[in-house]
Amino acid sequence: MTPSALPSSSREAPRALRITDAARGSGDRVFGAVGAVAAGFLGLVLVTVAVCVVHLAWPSIRETGLSFFGTSAWDPARDVYGALAFVWGTAMTSVVALCLAVPIGLGVAVFLTDLGPRPLRRPVSSLVELLAAIPSVVYGLWAAFVVAPLLRSSIEPALAAIGGPLFRGPPMGVGILCASIVLAIMVLPTIATVSRDVLAAVPSELREGALALGATSWDVVRLVVVPHARRGLFGAVLLGFGRAVGETIAVATVIGSRADVSLSLFAPGYTMSSVIANEFPSATSDLHVAALAEVGLLLFVVTVAFNVAARLLVRGERYGRALTVPAGNR
């Protein structure tokens, strides 16, 4: 229930209660119980998953300790496990993906709420949402058969001409850059739609006020709307980051699957989720399974942390501010 809805419903409550007191009482109790069971069940599943993963990972946690996070040696044939390369690869692909997706995503959001011609807003909005509906394995195939050859034959050689530590090594096609590009496209809908909602929640009084003071549309976006929605936009980016960190199949297809720490975007890498997808089905030694579970545990903690942080920020923007500011005007 929203705070603004509370006063009106509490004013009408006594009459409604008099009419259907008995029926409503039992109906409410049943419905409440069903809801509580459902909600409790979901929480239980989350806790169960966490407990199971910790249990599965325990041999590895005990065996490798902190060195698990400090070394990139991952050699199942010799039972040596270190997750640093996966953490590095996950961070690298996610950050590069965000560098590509955030400017575009924010641009789309501003277009949809403030700058775009009204007849175009709805179709563009549906198109962006459609991107989110494409299964990730399809993105993976598209990346392997279209993006990777394109990168190898033209884009990577062109970038290599610029030079620098980021563009070093032979153009392989698959690798960190390819995975980042696919991730960027996959997180774009998240960033664009959440940013759109956040921007739409900026009170129109602020926009009108700025316009009345002689600001252009661009000034309004730049000086009023975006600064006002700052926190929510940051949340949108964090949500996109959470999505990028957890993405599996599309990344596993084009990441190149090498447990190495390299600064070059051309180099093949590995992410936490793709190593689990690749190796878990065929892991034979108990320690290998446990090490993969520990990688999973790390991924679980990181994604939950990012999602909670992002949702707290976005919530503050969408409901808190949007409702408190106009409350004084009404």
Token pair for 222: 């730049």
* Closest CB to another protein among residues 100, 144: 144
User: Stretches 21-29, 89-97, 170-178, 180-188: which one binds another protein (CB under 8 A)?
Assistant: 170-178
In sequence order, which residues have a C-beta less than 8 Å from that of residue 318 and are 6 or more positions away? 197, 198, 201, 232
For tokens 């011609």, the residue is 117
Q: Please report whether residue 288 would count as binding another protein according to CB under 8 A.
A: yes
CA angle 109, 111, 116 (to 5 degrees): 150
* Closest CB to another protein among residues 64, 253: 253
Q: Please report whether residue 46 would count as binding another protein according to CB under 8 A.
A: yes
Distance of closest approach, residue 5 Cβ to another protein, in angstroms: 10
Distance of closest approach, residue 255 Cβ to another protein, in angstroms: 8
Cα 181 from chain centroid (whole Å): 15
User: Stretches 128-136, 157-165, 221-229, 280-288: which one binds another protein (CB under 8 A)?
Assistant: 280-288
* Closest CB to another protein among residues 87, 210: 87
* 239 to 278: interface string for another protein, x by CB under 8 A: -------------xx--xxxx--------x---------x
What does the alpha-carbon distance between residue 43 and residue 23 come to, in Å, rounded to a whole number? Answer: 30
For 104-107, the CB contacts below 8 A with 24+ separation are: 104/184, 104/188, 104/192, 105/187, 105/188, 105/190, 105/191, 105/192, 105/195, 105/236, 105/240, 106/191, 106/192, 106/195, 106/233
Applying CB under 8 A, the residues found at the interface with another protein are: 1-2, 39, 42-43, 45-46, 48-49, 74-78, 144-145, 148-149, 152, 170, 172-175, 252-253, 256-259, 268, 278-279, 281-284, 288, 304, 307-308, 311, 315, 319
